[in-house]
Structures are given as C-alpha cells and as structure tokens.
Chain A
Amino acid sequence: MPRFLTLIRIDENNAPEGGPSPELQERMGELLAEMTKAGVMLDNAGLTPTSQGTRVTWSGGKLSSTDGPFTETKEVVGGYLLIQAKDKAEALEWTHRFLRVHEEHWTVTTEVREIAENC
C-alpha cells in the first residue's frame, strides 16, 4: 500500500483567534484515533508557527538562511498527516474527513502527495 503525505496549509495571518476550539480538538482526537485504529495513520503532527522556523537555502554553492515568520507567503505548512492507504482515493477520503471536523470559519488547504518509493 502506498504512503501519502498530506501537507496541511493554513494562512497564519488569518487563522482563527485562539486556535482550535475544544470541540474541534475533541473531534480531531476522535478522528486521529479512528485512523490509528484503522491501521492507516503512520504519523501526524502540527508544526509550531513559522515565527519559530528558519528557511535554509543552498544556492550558487552558498548557504543562506532566513528566520521566520514568513509573512510574505499566504499559506504555510502548519502540519502533516503521514498515512498508508490502498490508493489515492482512500487517502483523499481520509483527508476529507480530516477537513470536515473543522468549523466553517476555518480555511484549510491540504495537498495530498504520494510518497515515491524505491528512489
């Protein structure tokens, strides 16, 4: 079964005040438990804000780094799901379920990418 990385993108400048509600956290906990029980979830995590992140670039044979926040980027990676599913359709279905537990005032964009094996 292929592995998929779902990158969870959020707009840091327009994220809901106070972060996720207790209800969202509870629903999310239930969903993640269900995914784990179904043998689908390999790993998942939320990332700390980009203000604590650093971009390190290799270009023209030189290292350079920029500290966050990366306010010029509308959407930044705020977390990820690493799942193992029969196919992309199944990976997408779990991603839909992940998105549906959020309240309406959230805007979350996910990117579902299959992990290239044997490379």
Chain B
Amino acid sequence: MTGAGTADAVETVFRIESARIIAGVTRIVRDVGIAEELAQDALVAALEQWPESGVPDRPGAWLMATAKHRAVDLVRRKETYARKLAEVGRALEDVPPPEPSDAEDIDDDLLRLVFTACHPVLPAPARIALTLRLLGGLTTPEIARAFLVAEPTVAQRVVRAKRTLAEARVPFEVPYGTERSARLSSVLEVIYLVFNEGYTATAGDDLVRPALCEDALRLVRVLANLMPDEPEVHGLAALLEFQASRIPARTGPAGEPVLLADQNRAKWNRILIRRGVDALHRGGHGPYSLQAAIAAHHALALRYEDTDWAAIATLYDRLLAQSPSPVVELNRAVAVSMAEGPAAALKLVDALAVDPALKGYHLLPSVRGDLLERLGRVPEAREEFERAAALARNARERELLLARAARSG
C-alpha cells in the first residue's frame, strides 16, 4: 500500500475507533482532555509505523493498545513524581492507579464517556460540542460549520469544557439510582438538540443540515445498544428514526420547505420507518416515547388524509400531563384543528398567545394564520403570516411564510 493510501486507512480506522480509544484511555488517566491527546498520539504512531509495517490485522486493537500503553506510562511517571515529592516531605498527589482492563469493558467505557461529556456541570453548548468531538468524531471546524458559529468559539468551548470536567473532578462513571435518570435525560437532550439543529436549522440559509441529523441518529443508535434496558433511549431512537425518514421529502428542488401535508410520501425512507417501529416497541411511556408514538402515526399514514388526528391529540394530552410546555400545547392545538376543526383550535391558540414563553416564536403566528385562513378570515391570516415571517430566523422558513402571506392576499 502506498504512503498516502496508508494515511487514509489510518484516518478512517481512527475515526471509527476514536471514541472507544478515548473512552478506554480516560478510564486510566481520568481526564478526557489528556485521553484525547493520547489517542491522537496513537494516531501519529500509526501514521509513522503502518507505512513500514503495513496495516495490522486488527487496526482498532493496535490503536487502543498503543494509546493505553502511553496512558499507563503517563500515570506511572506521575506516581513516581508524586512519591518523590512525598519523600521530600510534600503532600502526596492523588493519582489513581491504572486499572486492568479487557475488551469487554469497552462498552462500559464508552457509556462512561457519554455521561461525562454530557455532565450537567457543563453548559448545554459545551456538552453538545464535547459530545460531537469525543463521540461523534467531528473536528472543531465541522462542529463550527454545523452550528454556524466561529471556529475559535467552538475550540474555546471544548477546551473550557475539558478543563471544567478536570477541575470539578467529575468521576468517570455511569451513575446509578436517581442520579442516573437525571443524568440520562441530559444525555438524551444533547442528542435531541443536535438532531433538531440539523432538522430545522434555527438560523441560516439551509432548512436542513442532514449531516447533523445523521450524527445524532448514530449517537442514539450507539446509546440504544449500550443501554438496552432504558425505555426512553429507545423512545428517542424511535423518534429520530421517524423524523429522519422524512428528510428527503422535507425540501423541494430549490431547498424550499415542503409542509407535511404536501410531502411526497414515496420519498420517506421505509427502512428508517421500520427501524423506528422496532425501537418504539422497546420504548416506554416517557416524553420521547410519546413523541415517537406521535411521529409513528404520521410515518405509518400512507396518505395525509389517513392521519389519525384524534389519536395524535390524545397522545399530546398525555405528553402535556408529563411535561407541560407551551410548544407542546401549540402542537396539540394543530392536532385538535385537524380532529375537531379550526374553530376549536383557535381558542386554544388564542389562550397561548399571552404566554410570554412563546413571544417571538414564529410558529405561533404561523399556526394562527393557518387556522384563520381555514376559517375564511383571510386578511387576519395574512397579517399573522407576515408576523411569523418577521420572526423566523431561517431564511427558507421565512420565504415560505411570505409566500403564504402573499397567497392569502
């Protein structure tokens, strides 16, 4: 194999294996920042050695072993240093000894890494950046591009996050008991936020950034395999599979958004829908599972007219009872408008209009405009679409809303 070919092979293997390597090494050095550096060192060693020796039969295992050797060396050096310090009468540094490890622990290490990257001691944007970096294998420029923020901002977030974890001495563990469900919800939220940013970009020119959706989908699939007994993980997996199945139909040829009612359902990805149904069967009754159940009703309706809106409205009732939110209430109002007519829904939406949480949320006037249009109150509908367009931060959504305003002229 040529040098360039080997370099490509090394990088590909590294991308596949990096999360597991970082996870395995973090268990030894207890610091994700140092672990990431050691994993990079192993990559450099591979780039130096493989062109000479050839790519090993089990390249992932080679990288893991190399990184772990370096980690153990590092810890030993620190221990020696600490002992010498103690000999001269200073305090012994608290360095944990390296632990024996074998391949079967890799899954646990990966899970610990997920929980560490999503630790609540970090602000949400830092959790997202660190998760994409350590588990999604994304580079800083890739993360910056995906979230439309400057590269130095992302780099700073990642550096600060690693330092915060080290300073807070966040244990490298999967918590148990009540803390587990609290921490798990942070993990699921990060994946959910990454997916949503890709599914409907909050700003910018593109409606959809499918790469982010795919990264989130991959993370949740990995998590579902790591935590098969957690129903909400399967619930979120189901929700994302269903949502992702519609991506090819959500935009038209010019990148313009296509509403659910107008989507060509033949473009929906049936494999993802089937995977969503499988995951939903393993889901529970939590908020993600309920949202997945709603998405399933859409995914399984062969035509828009076949949608069971009454069932969807009932699911929204259950979702509201569990996790009240004005956005969920707004979505419920849409389902009610389809099940019972626009007049019933308009009352609900009008009640929501005073909610300060929805002030500035473009979908409120958008839904209201839709209901008014269906009630024949055209001039009022146009005003609402115009208001929605002014609030929308995504260029594609804004265009669609302005077009609807013009049409109700």
Residues of chain A having any CB pair with chain B under 8 Å:
1, 36-40, 42-43, 82, 84, 86, 89-90, 92-94, 100, 117-118
Chain B 222-274 residues near chain A, CB threshold 8 A? 222, 225-226, 248, 267, 271
Residues of A with C-beta under 8 A to B214: 1, 84
Q: Which residue in chain A gives the minimum CB-CB distance to B219?
A: A39
Query: How many Å lie between the Cα of A17 and that of B16 in the bound state?
Result: 35
Residues of chain B having any CB pair with chain A under 8 Å:
8-9, 11-13, 15-16, 57, 107, 137, 211, 214-215, 217-222, 225-226, 248, 267, 271, 275
Residues of B with C-beta under 8 A to A43: 271
Residues of B with C-beta under 8 A to A93: 9, 12-13, 16
Residues of A with C-beta under 8 A to B137: 86
B57 near A39 with CB under 8 A, answer: no
Residues of B with C-beta under 8 A to A92: 12
A38 interface neighbour in B215, B217, B222, B267, Cβ under 8 Å: B222
Query: How many Å lie between the Cα of A36 and that of B225 in the bound state?
Result: 8
Residues of A with C-beta under 8 A to B220: 39
B226 near A84 with CB under 8 A, answer: no
Nearest 4 interchain pairs by C-beta: A39-B221, A1-B214, A39-B218, A37-B225
Residues of A with C-beta under 8 A to B222: 37-39
A90 near B12 with CB under 8 A, answer: yes
- Given the interface pairs A1-B214, A42-B275, A82-B271, the reply to whether A37 lies near B248 with Cβ below 8 Å is no
Q: Say how far A43's CB is from chain B's closest CB, in angstroms.
A: 6
Q: Which residue in chain B gives the minimum CB-CB distance to A118?
A: B248
Q: Say how far B54's CB is from chain A's closest CB, in angstroms.
A: 13
- Given the interface pairs A1-B214, A100-B57, A118-B248, the reply to whether A86 lies near B15 with Cβ below 8 Å is yes
- Given the interface pairs A82-B271, A93-B13, A100-B57, the reply to whether A117 lies near B225 with Cβ below 8 Å is no
Residues of B with C-beta under 8 A to A39: 217-222, 225
Query: How many Å lie between the Cα of A39 and that of B221 in the bound state?
Result: 5
Interface CB pairs A-B, < 8 A, 18: A1-B211, A39-B218, A39-B220, A39-B221, A39-B225, A40-B218, A42-B271, A43-B271, A84-B214, A86-B15, A86-B137, A89-B8, A89-B9, A89-B11, A90-B16, A93-B9, A118-B248, A118-B267
B218 near A84 with CB under 8 A, answer: yes
Q: Which residue in chain A gives the minimum CB-CB distance to B20?
A: A38
Q: Say how far A66's CB is from chain B's closest CB, in angstroms.
A: 29
Additional 18 contacts, C-beta under 8 A, given A89-B12, A117-B248: A1-B214, A1-B215, A37-B226, A39-B217, A39-B220, A39-B221, A39-B222, A39-B225, A42-B271, A84-B214, A89-B9, A90-B15, A93-B12, A93-B13, A93-B16, A94-B16, A118-B248, A118-B267
Query: How many Å lie between the Cα of A1 and that of B209 in the bound state?
Result: 11
Residues of B with C-beta under 8 A to A89: 8-9, 11-12
Q: Say how far A98's CB is from chain B's closest CB, in angstroms.
A: 13
Query: How many Å lie between the Cα of A54 and that of B11 in the bound state?
Result: 43
